[in-house]
Structure 1
Amino acid sequence: MIEKIFSVPKLEYMQCERRSNLLLVTLDRAAKRNALDRQFIEELFELFSAVEGSDVRAVVVTANGDHFCAGLDLVEHHREDRSATDFMHICRRWHAAFERIQHCGVPVIGALKGAVVGGGLELASSFHIRVADPTTYFALPEGQRGIFTGGGATVRVARMVGEARMMDMMLTGRVYTGEEAVSVGLCQYLVPTDQCLAKAIGIAEKAAENPPLSNFAITSGIGHIGNMPSTDAFFAEAFIAGITNTQPASKERLEAFANKSAPKTLLVPQE
């Protein structure tokens, strides 16, 4: 497979920094708590379209300001007085952008803080791993605002926390923070405030050491398999394993393992 060299598209709401084989993406609309409007969604779509098939091995997404993302830009939504058809098509663009993130072919790690609310949680749920700090809070306040999720929460967030818990969040405005957020699956790591970005980068660096085909199979294959009936899922798993487990990189690493020359790669819990 011929890789393209990653080229940063024109962006107004994000900053990109290349760090070796990693890409650090910073949401940069702090004055609006990084709320997502139509342009922001288009920029996400363009950015992760550029990542797909490129020489980027992992992406870390963080944010400027005190909040990761406060969700849909409600001011824009109210001002434009959208019709049902208008908003349906906007939702489909959100779906397309977040699908690009989830299936861009490389691990995407989120370094979260402050509000991860509504559409912000939908954005974060398209990442493969989420790291939170003590300021991070997760919520789906759509019920109190008289609206409904439109960026994929009914699929991704419901998978993470379960349908009943998601309904509770929407109906009552329940907020999850800290260890409780980890325990229900909204994030995988909780670290001190000044360590969140470093932790996310460390995870991305670790994942980037894997063969690209293996990371592609993990980050895209598992999500697609989860959409299938079990018989089809078993077939797809076998097909993906057949291709991935016989790639040259796998043969080299298995040979090193057999010869006891492979480096230890397991993450050992710290005392």
Structure 2
Amino acid sequence: MTDITYELRDRTAWIGLNRPQKRNAINDAVLQAIEAAVRRAQGEARAMVLFGHGPCFCAGLDLAEHRAREAPEVFRNSRAWHAAFSLIRRGPVPAIAALHGATVGGGLELAAACHLRIADATAFFALPEGSRGIYVGGGASVHVARLLGTARMMDLMLTGRVLSAAEAERANLVQYLVDAEKAPGKASELAAKVVEMAPLTVLGVLQALPRIQDMSEEDGLFVESMMAALAQTGPEAAARLADFVGKRGAKVAGPSS
């Protein structure tokens, strides 16, 4: 059994964590396999979906391996997690996380590295590192805190609070909430839309938008204008706008439609 499964379907790469007997806990080998699968997807796909085989998405760091490490090695390992997850976050291919069951610790950090997150009703979220006498190391201090806000992040780490799927949606941790076992189907639906996006638009959303959040207002608006000029003068934009003006493009409809 391989730690990671990989399948390319309709320009979407499906990357599955495959250690169900360990609740898909991440050790060094799994982290390296995730990175390799993501690099492969970025070379041949237009979207990727990350999911977990078995009872949950990911229970986080494999603590059995972590216990034997000294401080310098823990530091280097944390930086390896940052690099692997940055490859997803800063890469050219939109990543969708389809979440069920435990999505905790490093599993939550992996989900936070994705651009879209779908939780089914069985999903639950936590950062149990504090109760285990350790600290997050896969990027949660920055990226989960930006989703939740610092106060909620403190709550999870200081008290061991566990968020249900519905609470996670209200807290901005996930964008979609679906019934049990429906997350892969929703991921497939979203991926089908993502792969049809114009490449320059995807470039702006994945590369410019996150950086704009770290800029001053004026610098952010300047980059927005530059990105708009780049995207809106491309040949694909011209064709799509012509389709819309010629009533060949779909209009925006309300959610009930």
TM category (shorter chain) comes to over 0.9
Letter of the 1:247 partner, please give it: G
Unaligned 5+ segments in structure 2 are none
Select the residue among 162, 173, 184 that pairs with 2:149.
162
1:178-216 CA distance string (max 9 Å, x none) = 322111111111111132110111011111111122112
**Pairing 1:16–2:3 present:** no
Letter of the 2:182 partner, please give it: Q
Evaluate the alpha carbon distance shift between residue 267 and residue 224 of structure 1 in structure 2; reply closer, same or farther with a 3 A threshold.
farther
Shift of 1:244: 1.6
Give runs of aligned pairs for residues 88-107 of structure 1, distance below 5 A: 88-107=75-94
Q: What's the counterpart of residue 5 of structure 1?
A: none
**Pairing 1:69–2:55 present:** no
Unaligned 5+ segments in structure 1 are 1-10
Shift of 1:134: 1.2
Helix, strand or coil: the match of 1:194? Answer: coil
Helix, strand or coil: the match of 2:182? Answer: helix
Select the residue among 110, 113, 119 that pairs with 1:132.
119
Give runs of aligned pairs for residues 1-271 of structure 1, distance below 5 A: 12-52=2-42, 54-78=43-67, 81-264=68-251, 266=252, 268-270=254-256
**In 1: Cα distance, 2:24 partner to 2:200 partner:** 33
Q: Which 4+ stretches in 1 moved above 3 angstroms?
A: none
- TM-score norm. by structure 1 comes to 0.90
**In 1: Cα distance, 2:232 partner to 2:44 partner:** 22
Deviates more, 1:152-161 or 1:188-197: 188-197
Shift of 1:267: 6.4
Helix, strand or coil: the match of 1:168? Answer: helix
Shift of 1:157: 0.6
Contact 1:51–1:104 (CA<8 Å) still a contact in 2? no
Shift of 1:51: 2.7
Contact 2:126–2:161 (CA<8 Å) still a contact in 1? yes
Shift of 1:252: 0.8
**In 2: Cα distance, 1:55 partner to 1:206 partner:** 17
Contact 1:57–1:212 (CA<8 Å) still a contact in 2? no
Q: RMSD of aligned C-alpha atoms?
A: 1.6
1:56-98 CA distance string (max 9 Å, x none) = 11111111111100011001101xx212111111111100100
Evaluate the alpha carbon distance shift between residue 267 and residue 111 of structure 1 in structure 2; reply closer, same or farther with a 3 A threshold.
farther
1:213-237 CA distance string (max 9 Å, x none) = 2112212221122222333322222
Shift of 1:269: 1.9
**In 2: Cα distance, 1:50 partner to 1:231 partner:** 37
**In 1: Cα distance, 2:17 partner to 2:256 partner:** 31
Letter of the 2:211 partner, please give it: H
Shift of 1:270: 3.5
Contact 2:147–2:172 (CA<8 Å) still a contact in 1? yes
Contact 1:106–1:212 (CA<8 Å) still a contact in 2? no
**In 2: Cα distance, 1:235 partner to 1:91 partner:** 34
Identity %: 42
**In 2: Cα distance, 1:49 partner to 1:177 partner:** 32
Letter of the 2:128 partner, please give it: P
